[in-house]
Structure 1
Amino acid sequence: MCQVEEEYNEHLETKPVLRVSRTCVKCKENTAVLIIRVGDAFCRNCFKEYFVHKFRAMLGKNRVIFPGEKVLLAVSGGPASSSMLAQVQEGLSRDAPKRLRFTPGIIYIDEGGACGQSAEEREKAVVQLEDIFRKTGFPYFVVSLEQVFSLPDSVLEPVYGGPEGSDLSYKAAVDQYIQQNKVKQRAQDSAIREAHEAIDRHSVQSQCSPDHRLALERLFSSLKTLTAKEDMLQTLRQHVILHTARMKGYAKVMMGDSCTRLAVKLLSNISLGRGAALAADTGFSDPRYGDVVIVRPMRDYSSKEIAFYNMLFGVQSIFIPGLDTKVPDKASIQRLTESFVIKLQADFPSTVSTIYRTSEKLHTSCPQLNTTEPTAKCLLCLCALDTKADEASAFNATQLSERLSERKAQRDSSSSNLTVNSSSSCGREGGCASDGCCSTLRAAVSTDLKSLLCYSCRLTIKDMTEVDTLPRYITSEAEKRQRRAQMKQEISEFLLQDEDEAEEE
């Protein structure tokens, strides 16, 4: 029975509706349209000035990009990279008070083959992104992920650049740029852009062959976990961007990693065993490749700020499904970490900023580079190897357990092969050679490959069922390094040692 007319109903109170009627904290005049953090309410114009100033200040404070340099913008179509593209486009306009002085280009890596997208979905995404790229007037490159199987062997060769430019060299470069004839420079830049636009517009169909598509599908199907797939996708994407930047003459590559994304990446990389490479993976600049430097100018922006800016000023972004789309939170380490940080940020708004400020204090501790013998780098991520530990370390104990397990597995497989015909087991005419079965050879190749990898990349390779599915340039570089190591071991008795090395021995 309804009791609305009862007397106790008069004591019920209506919950007040909260309304935001605050003035802007900067101009103190206009009404605020958004609140970034508690106490930070901005109007539309002041928020745009705040957003643009943060981008210019990040580039001006670090002084990594020199005037006249060619910078490649890695755009994935998401909100962060699209906002980065809009900031560069606005900074290069004639009305900009502090005009940017570099020459930009755009690259988009089509990852649909690794994410299970159809050809129609991939073509639709490329067409939408090309419409955005044409409006900017910058040269752009659309490269499919399948191109990793046609990359040359020189991609993983270490390129050691000189020391980073000092403040004096940066100021000299600025003065030289200002003294140049601006009208002539603009005409030259426009001619270069037109030439790039006429030549460098590639479609997905013209770049990837059916063999490469099957090879990419086989590679990602050999990875057992989603964690390993996401890590491998990140590695291959970086290799394609690195090769394109070198071929097109770009010295810097801008990535659209936001503050929220870097906070998630910091915690997930710690869980993946990449603690030694945190400074390079989350810092503003990443000089691990030598001649090409990775720059992250969006690392001061939270995902909330980027979403507000794109909504207020009409920055177009495109959603493209990835490997972690519509998967549960516990599907991978990266996805679980992202869910943890986002949920914690909702209850404690300072979570992302605290993690981000912690990442700013990290530095890579590595030995000094020697001109005769450079520091060994990982075969996949090209970071310094972190596998040289003490004999009593947990890493060496883990390695010992893995070696004992592999020996036991090899003995079990050899004993089982005694009862099976060798010619029928491997499919070769006359059977295998005298050095063992094919599976034993593949295990030996995998063991040799692990010796060239850092701890995190070893875990990724460990989750692979078929190491032969890796691109050819990776296996070729592994064979080259193994031959050099074997040759060095053979002639080690005839080499002269330094005084410091002799004292240590």
Structure 2
Amino acid sequence: MLGKNRVIFPGEKVLLAVSGGPASSSMLSQVQEGLSRDAPKKLRFVPGIIYIDEGGASGQSMEERKRAVAQLESVFRATNYHYHIVHLEQEAYNDLNGVTSPITPEHTQALQRLFASVRTPTAKEDLLHTLRQHLILHTARTQGYTKVMMGDSCSRLAIKLLSNISLGRGASLATDTGFSDPRHVDVVIVRPMRDYSSKEIAYYNRMFDIPSVFIPGLDSKAQDKASIQRLTESFVTKLQTDFPSTVSTIYRTSEKLHTACLPQNTNTQPSAKCLLCVCAMDTKLEEFSAYQATLISEQLSQRRGPGPEFTPGTAAAPGSPPASSAGQGHSSGGGQSQGCETGEGGCSSSAKEPETVDLKSLLCYSCRLTIKDMTALDALPQYILSEAERRRSQMREEISEFLLDEAEDEAIPRVNGS
């Protein structure tokens, strides 16, 4: 797979993301084999290992987390590769742009507060995946790695493809499931295990005595209908039992996916990418699109009845900025929200509403759904909130020359008292 794609070059530093599961453990073993002197096609890159401790998000005790880390460290030390054990709290509650402080119980409580603020298991799993990716990329950048190897198998990618479609990530399927994911520009994610099914990996590990460590996650012991991801996994695995070509058929479909050509300056403009998943923004579309139709439908469904100022054709004109929390946010120069945000508690005019709207305007469609399921946006990691504020400040600077100051605004003659 590496020889066919030719994206990793001799002497390049490559970070192996190992979770302890069968697929990533098999990937680590095959890298060891490829770097050995007796390998017929010797690999020539410099490997490193990273493990993300997610026990704080899944409710594991500190003793359980230490026990799992100790098991993995014994495996990592046997490889003689440089490895990094990183806790999810480090990413979520320390500034990734500066020096991180040691993990404390307060950090763990803050992380648990973040996931407690997410109402659905689907959004929790999506948020966990996003934070994990951020931390892996941050470690790769700070340690000088230019490539990251993920242990996604063919079976896992088939499940990911269908679940991502359900989550509204259709625009980024090619990068989410392909061999190479170059969306981050300076660090490229590769998936060398994507040709192997989970069954093949299990046989390989058994034949060559490859150790793996089971670590409970958010979806451990969850019901089949607990989340979209869990339901999709149950559907695909059960279908695969009766129809053995299911996974391979879905996988072959993923190989045919390609990302539409983007403007040349997209990679140099962070504002053109989602704040969380860093995929190309799929919300800035033409007037007559499925996305706009979805927003109009949701706006109409949230209305409790025609109000005194309601007239047909003006409530949700195609292309107009949505006023509800589900769509693209729109606020006036003074920061007042246009319209009323309707939620479980009815209309709300809290001070947090302008911030919510501004944050959603920086997200893709799927990440907006995740944020919509959160009850406390201030629980998000500080670096995400800081980046959102930086982008908003940049947007204000770009349009500052077109805004009127107070003196000029008062000099404009009023018509009919307006």
Alignment correspondent of 2:14: 71
Q: How far off its partner does 1:344 sit?
A: 0.6
**Aligned equivalents of 1:135 and 1:343: distance in 2?**
37
Counterpart code for 2:185: G
Matched, 1:399 2:295: yes
Match of 1:93 in 2: 36
Contact 1:153 1:474 in 2 (8 A): no
Aligned match of 1:138? 81
**Partner of residue 276, structure 2:** 380
Deviations 1:125-161 (CA, angstroms, capped at 9, x unpaired): 0000000001111011000000113454659xxxxxx
Aligned match of 1:421: none
Q: Distance in 1 between matches of 2:193 and 2:324?
A: 45
Q: What does residue range 97-496 of structure 1 map to in structure 2 within 5 Å?
A: 97-152=40-95, 207-370=102-265, 374=269, 376-400=272-296, 401-402=298-299, 403-405=322-324, 407-409=339-341, 440-491=350-401
Partners of 2:341 and 2:280 in 1: CA distance:
31
Query: 8 Å contact 1:153–1:476 — kept in the other structure?
Result: no
Q: Which amino acid aligns with 2:134?
A: H
Aligned to 1:39: none
Equivalences for residues 25-36 of structure 1 within 5 A: none
Per the TM alignment, residue 405 of structure 1 is displaced from its structure 2 partner at its CA by 4.7
Give 1:218 deviation, angstroms: 0.5
Structure 1 segment 37-52 matched on structure 2, within 5 A: none
Distance in 2 (CA, whole Å) between partners of 1:356 and 1:412 is 40
Q: CA 1:314–1:371 in 2, change beyond 3 Å: closer, same or farther?
A: closer
- TM superposition shift of 1:388: 1.3
- Structure 2 unaligned regions, length at least 5: 300-321, 326-338, 404-418
Please report how far the alpha carbon of residue 390 of structure 1 lies from its aligned counterpart in structure 2 after TM superposition.
2.2
Question: Could you say if the C-alpha distance between residues 230 and 391 of structure 1 is closer, same or farther in structure 2, counting changes exceeding 3 Å?
Answer: same
Aligned partner letter, 1:380: L
* Contact preservation (8 Å) 1:280, 1:288: yes
Q: 1:71·1:254 contact (CA, 8 Å) conserved in 2?
A: yes
8 Å Cα contact 2:96-2:138 kept in structure 1: no
Secondary structure, counterpart of 1:329 in structure 2: coil
1:409: Cα distance to partner? 4.4
Secondary structure of the 2:52 match is strand
Quote the offset at 1:99 in angstroms: 1.2
Structure 1 residues 329 and 488: alpha-carbon distance in aligned structure 2, compared to 1, 3 A threshold: same
**Distance across 2 between alignment mates of 1:491 and 1:90:** 61
How far is the alpha carbon of 1:399 from its aligned partner? 3.3
> Residue 392 and residue 340 in structure 1: after superposition, are their counterparts in 2 closer, same or farther (change >3 A)?
same
Deviation at 1:490, TM superposition (A): 2.2
CA displacement 1:402-461 (0-9 Å, x = unmatched):
44556344799899xxxxxxxxxxxxxxxxxxxxx9x62212211111100000000000
Task: Give the Cα–Cα distance (whole angstroms) in 1 for the partners of residues 284 and 323 of structure 2.
Answer: 20
Distance 1:372 1:129 in 2: 36
What is the 5 A alignment of 1:5-20?
Answer: none
Find the counterpart in structure 2 of residue 161 from structure 1: none
Instruction: Say if 2:154 and 2:251, in contact at 8 Å, map to a contact too.
Output: yes
User: Sequence identity of aligned pairs in percent?
Assistant: 68
Contact residue 93 and residue 110 of structure 2 kept, 8 A: no
SS of the aligned residue for 1:301 comes to: coil
Gaps of 5+ in 1: 1-57, 156-205, 416-436, 494-505
CA distance in 1, matches of 2:91, 2:254: 31
| Contact 1:86/1:315 (<8 A) preserved | yes
For 1:372 and 1:142, locate their aligned partners in 2 and report how far apart those are by CA, in whole Å: 30
What is residue 168 of structure 1 aligned with on the other side?
Answer: none
Q: Please say which structure displays the higher CA radius of gyration.
A: 1
Taking the aligned partners of 2:244 and 2:66, their CA distance within structure 1 comes to: 39
Q: Corresponding residue for 2:408? A: none
Q: Identify if the C-alpha distance between structure 1 residues 337 and 99 changes in structure 2 by more than 3 Å, giving closer, same or farther.
A: same
Q: Does structure 2 conserve the Cα–Cα contact (< 8 Å) formed by 1:255 and 1:295?
A: yes
Deviations 1:58-98 (A, max 9, x none): 00000000000010000000000000000001111111121
Cα distance in 1 between the residues matched to 2:10 and 2:166: 39
Residue identity opposite 1:377 in structure 2: K
TM-score (normalizing by structure 1): 0.69
1:81 pairs with one of 24, 29, 47: 24
Q: Residue 331 of structure 2 aligns with which residue?
A: none
Paired with 1:369 and 1:151, the residues of 2 have a C-alpha distance of 34
Distance 1:150 1:404, change over 3 A: closer
Q: Which has the higher helix share?
A: 1
Secondary structure (helix, strand or coil) at the match of 1:143 reads strand
Instruction: Kindly indicate whether the alpha-carbon contact (under 8 Å) linking 1:410 and 1:440 is maintained by their aligned counterparts in 2.
Output: no
Structure 2 Cα separation of the partners of residues 397 and 125 of structure 1:
48
Match for 1:480: what amino acid? Answer: R
Q: Using the TM superposition, give the Cα deviation of residue 374 of structure 1 relative to its aligned residue in structure 2, in angstroms.
A: 3.2
Give the distance between the partners of 2:324 and 2:152, measured in 1 at CA.
40
Partner residue, 1:53? none
CA distance in structure 2 between the aligned counterparts of 1:123 and 1:137, rounded to whole angstroms? 21
d(CA) in 1 for partners of 2:357 and 2:266? 29
Number of aligned residue pairs:
365
* Letter paired with 1:79: P
SS at match of 1:330: coil
Could you tell me which residue of structure 2 aligns to residue 172 of structure 1?
none
**After superposition, what is the alpha-carbon deviation per residue over 1:14-35, rounded to whole angstroms, capped at 9, x for unaligned?**
xxxxxxxxxxxxxxxxxxxxxx
**What CA distance in whole angstroms lies between the structure 1 residues aligned with 2:162 and 2:230?**
11
